[in-house]
Amino acid sequence: MQNQLFIHNTLSRKKELFEPINPPFAGMYVCGPTVYGDPHLGHARPAITFDLVFRYLLHLEYKVRYVRNITDVGHLVADLDEGEDKIAVKARVEQVEPMEIAQYYADRYFIFMDALNVKRPSIEPRASGHMIEQIVMVGKILDAGYAYEVNGSVYFDVEKYSKSYDYGKLSGRVLEDLISNTRSLEGQDEKRNAADFALWKKAQPEHIMRWPSPWGDGFPGWHLECSAMSTKYLGEYFDIHGGGMDLLFPHHESEIAQCQAAIGHESVKYWMHNNMITINGQKMGKSLGNFITLDEFFTGKHASLQQAYSPMTIRFFILQAHYRSTVDFSNEALQAAEKGLKKLVAGYETLMKLSPSPMASNPSPPAPLPGGEGSVPGGEGRIAAIQRDCYNAMNDDFNSPMVIASLFEGVRIINTVADKKDTLTAPELELLKNIFDTFLFDILGLKNEKANDQGELLDGLMQLVLSIRQKSRETKDWGTSDQIRDALQKLQIVVKDGKDGTAWDVG
């Protein structure tokens, strides 16, 4: 299987062939959460997007090191006093240690990401644990002459940097516009230029989170941790840097500048950005107050939710859109996703019960291949065509919606065979199972939730109940038969009479 993976690089705004710097190794850094609130649907998007990338790279047998940070220090609160640290603010309100808050929400984040079947990254470094690296990096930027110190704070000199390099290359911004359009914030007079950003901020006396540095007690600037930690764990030049589109500017733009200034060259080969989740066409975000937490989704306890949605429904909902598109939240869309996923999983369960036919399956013309490359002489089988479509979709910038569409094609065939209107040979059946195992479970990372909450006890009971019902059906005792069916219905168990006996399903 020849795999030519193309990745949309935000830097070039084009799809580029993925060629790792040091194969078979691949390094990926993704901006993780700021742990000062419960994870919401917006957090799920990048986690799932880059989980898909992680899983696919692993499938392609790259040796991947995936680093996703935990931000537990450093971000400013815009509408409060300058220099306040988000986590410190909340800590004072609740009268607990800042690190206690950070620990609590980091744990919550892990719990919900686990529920979404997001693989744990290789390393999850915390900003607070990398003060030395950050301070060293500030020192390097100062030494290189691209930063200046004022009153115990250190700022990046964007204007000077722009004389040699292109600040704005990632986001497409022009420095003059930045200078003329940046709002004036309190305390900005310390900066030489409005476009400059803090590398190190002096801590005010009341500031709880503070660390000693050559410039006095303070805390690191907004963009520093990612540069310091990606360099530490992935090296001065690595393959993929990911994050949400809202981080493009100024965060990632500034990361580029910091690395260029500190190291002498850029550090990222491919920049990837996932798009936002919207609610009523607006971004779902903490600051807008229109976010729904994952906990609320899983329990259904939110005014906007008509029902609870399972973790896999959320995952499937997100994967049904391409990662660079916005996804609009609605109950209708989630319910459609829930049904679609159920159909897919049910198809897989049916597949496991199918027996092969010794005969060749119905001949169907192979799908035409673009350019004719890779076509199989004598006609490619329709199952192989599904597999090929899945790979092509993944290789085309991780097009998960296309993968899902191909899997549905597989489901159609499975159901037709189960209906005895078609047959599959043993090799075809094997290949189909392999496709589902690989793409549905390994790569898309979906799992059969039903299998988890239904133990052997329930299974045995259902066998018993259905065999009794079957007997009454054989004697045409429809009253008893329907009574059982109706009673089960009330318990959310759906009875499905088929040609080969009766199946059942929860929900």
Partner RNA sequence: GGUUUCGUGGCCGAGUGGCUAGGCAGCGGUCUGCAAAACCGUCCACAGCGGUUCGACUCCGCUCGAAACCUCCA
- Pick from 2, 95, 151, 287: which binds RNA (CB under 7 A)? 287
DSSP 105-130: HHHHHHHHHHHTTPPPPSB--BGGGG
Nearer to RNA, 150 or 405 (CB): 405
Told to check if 149 binds RNA by CB under 7 A, we report: no
Nearer to RNA, 34 or 213 (CB): 34
Minimum gap (Å) between residue 345 Cβ and RNA: 11
246 burial type by CB count under 10 A (0-12 exposed, 13-18 middle, 19+ buried): middle
Inter-residue contact 31 to 242 (CB < 8 Å): yes
> Which of 65, 251, 269, 315 is in the footprint of RNA by CB under 7 A?
251
Is the Cβ of residue 63 or residue 343 nearer to RNA in the bound state? Answer: 343
Sheet holding 277-279, edge to edge: 282-283, 277-279, 327-329
Within residues 381-400, the interface with RNA by CB under 7 A covers 396, 399
Site for RNA in 309-328 (CB under 7 A): 320-322, 325-328
Let me know how long the chain is.
Answer: 507
Q: Choose between 330 and 375: whose C-beta lies nearer to RNA.
A: 330
As a three-state string, the secondary structure of 360-423 is CCCCCCCCCCHHHCCCCCCCCCHHHHHHHHHHHHHHECCCHHHHHHHHHHHHHHHHHHHCCCCC
Q: Would you count residue 11 as binding RNA (CB under 7 A)?
A: no
Could you tell me the two tokens for 503?
């199946």
- Asked if 52 contacts 443 with a C-beta cutoff of 8 angstroms, the reply is yes
Q: From 113-121, 148-156, 283-291, 447-455, give the range in contact with RNA by CB under 7 A.
A: 283-291
- 325: its two tokens: 């598109």
Among 372, 373, 499, 500, interactor with RNA by CB under 7 A: 499
SS3 state at 143: helix
Q: Residue 501 interacts with RNA (CB under 7 A)?
A: no
- Candidate segments 89-97, 134-142, 339-347, 438-446, binder of RNA by CB under 7 A: 339-347
Task: Please say which residue, 20 or 462, places its beta carbon nearer to RNA.
Answer: 462
| Position among 99, 402, 488, 506 found at the interface with RNA (CB under 7 A) | 402
Which residue in the set 210, 283, 315, 382 belongs to the binding site for RNA (CB under 7 A)?
283
| Contact track, RNA, 153-182, x by CB under 7 A | ------------------xxxx--xx--xx
Q: How many C-beta neighbours within 10 Å does residue 462 have?
A: 18
Residues 80-99 that bind RNA (CB under 7 A): 86
> Does 208 contact RNA by CB under 7 A?
no
Nearer of residues 20 and 423 to RNA, judged by Cβ? 423
CA–CA dist 280, 327 (Å, integer): 10
Taking Cα atoms as reference points, which of 203, 198, 258 lies closest to residue 226?
258
Instruction: Write the CA distances from 238 to 15, 257, 329, integer angstroms.
Output: 18, 16, 34
Nearer CB in complex with RNA: 62/167? 167
Q: What is the dihedral of CA 260, 266, 272, 278, to 10 degrees?
A: 10
Closest distance of CB 63 from RNA, Å: 26
**211-230 residues near RNA, rule: CB under 7 A:** 222
Is 250 a binder of RNA (CB under 7 A)? yes
* By the rule CB under 7 A, 277 interacts with RNA: yes
